[in-house]
């Protein structure tokens, strides 16, 4: 069994072990593979039986050019990195990693919100610059702070991460509105289900946790921003493509929105002309919500178990219907 890992560095920069995969076959690990170089992707896959990838795309051309591939394992929950339909047409199961970073991503969404509202970073920096020592009063603030208790958080996408975020928001004293593909009893205990327009109109904070699909691409755009409260806050730890970044930047610069906090952008790594880079009231982190070591170890364990289950004839977490 030949196993090729196309982009192992972000999953394992050196603090984890590939030994689980090595017990199942001969493993070749590439730290990075050029995303847009199909020829190089094909060369690296070669005559492998198994392809493991995080963000390096496995497109139809690669699957056709590498007929020995029998299984594709994803080191992520998102499945858009692989042409799953074409893999299915070739009888190749594609397995993903579900629910490995629920609490970490919810934590990061709230961390972005708290930084926007409490401005811990700028005040710590001011103290280190000596401004508190020079202050005539016992207290000072560089910018107004905001209390979250009593405000409304609208959560778009009320799956596991959305519900986890909602529970934290409730603990902070916030009211929770939610919209999702289906209502659940657990969800109703956390928040009130409503339609998107109502959520946008009533929410002081809108947090995105829905998957990126054709119907959700550009969900936050000029028209939907116009429906939001003046001075609202947007948080996005879902997918960059959920947001029309030019429309968001315009709303931030005009003051229509008070601030935004994003962990994802439309093209990653971020491009130098991304309009959000020009917005002082936009916090941007480099897609790190999923990266605590505990989460990455969970990814490793599930990915190994997915492959082991496939080899045993009982594939798990298959996203393209091939059993």
Catalytic residue numbers, as ranges: 239, 268, 287
Q: Which strands, in side-by-side order, build the sheet including 192-193?
A: 192-193, 175-179, 152-156, 205-208, 232-236, 257-262, 282-284
CB-based contact 176:230 (threshold 8 Å): no
User: In angstroms, rounded to a whole number, what is the distance separating the alpha carbons of residues 243 and 256?
Assistant: 16
Handedness of CA 81, 85, 90, 95 (dihedral sign): positive
Partners of 232 in the β-ladder? 257
Instruction: Return all residues near 67 (Cβ < 8 A) that are at least 6 apart.
Output: none
**Hey, what's the torsion of the CAs at 245, 235, 155, 75, to 10 degrees?**
90
User: In angstroms, rounded to a whole number, what is the distance separating the alpha carbons of residues 92 and 241?
Assistant: 27
First to last CA, the chain: 19
User: In angstroms, rounded to a whole number, what is the distance separating the alpha carbons of residues 60 and 99?
Assistant: 27
Closest CA to 209 of 248, 253, 177: 177
- Alpha carbon 292 to its chain centroid, in Å, reads 13
DSSP structure string for 254-286: HTSEEEEEES--SSSSPPTT-GGGG-TTEEE--
Place of tokens 């692989």: 82
């Amino acid at each position: 069994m030949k196993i090729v890992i196309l982009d192992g560095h972000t999953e394992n920069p050196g603090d984890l072990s590939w030994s689980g995969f090595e017990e199942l076959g001969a493993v070749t690990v590439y730290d990075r593979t050029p995303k847009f170089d199909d020829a190089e992707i094909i060369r690296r896959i070669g005559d492998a039986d198994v392809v493991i990838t995080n963000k390096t795309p496995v497109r139809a051309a690669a699957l056709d050019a590498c007929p020995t591939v029998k299984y594709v394992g994803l080191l992520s929950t998102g499945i858009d990195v692989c042409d799953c339909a074409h893999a299915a047409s070739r009888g190749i199961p594609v397995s993903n990693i579900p629910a490995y970073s629920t609490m970490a991503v919810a934590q990061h969404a709230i961390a972005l919100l708290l930084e926007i509202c409490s401005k811990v970073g700028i005040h710590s920096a001011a103290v280190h610059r000596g401004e508190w020592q020079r202050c005539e009063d016992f207290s000072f603030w560089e910018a107004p702070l905001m209390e979250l208790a009593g405000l409304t958080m609208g959560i778009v996408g009320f799956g596991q991460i959305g519900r986890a975020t909602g529970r934290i928001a409730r603990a902070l004293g916030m009211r929770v509105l939610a919209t999702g593909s289906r209502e659940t009893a657990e969800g109703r205990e956390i928040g009130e289900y409503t339609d998107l327009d109502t959520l946008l109109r009533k929410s002081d904070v809108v947090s995105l946790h829905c998957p990126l699909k054709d119907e959700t691409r550009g969900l936050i755009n000029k028209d939907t921003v116009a429906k939001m409260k003046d001075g609202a806050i947007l948080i996005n730890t879902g997918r960059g493509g959920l947001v029309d970044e030019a429309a968001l930047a315009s709303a931030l610069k005009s003051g229509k929105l008070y601030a935004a906090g994003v962990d994802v952008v439309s093209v990653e790594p971020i491009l130098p002309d991304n309009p959000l880079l020009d917005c002082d009231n936009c916090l941007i982190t480099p897609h790190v919500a999923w990266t605590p070591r505990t989460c990455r170890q969970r990814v490793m364990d599930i990915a190994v178990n997915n492959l082991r289950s496939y080899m045993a004839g009982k594939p798990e977490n298959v996203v393209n219907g091939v059993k």
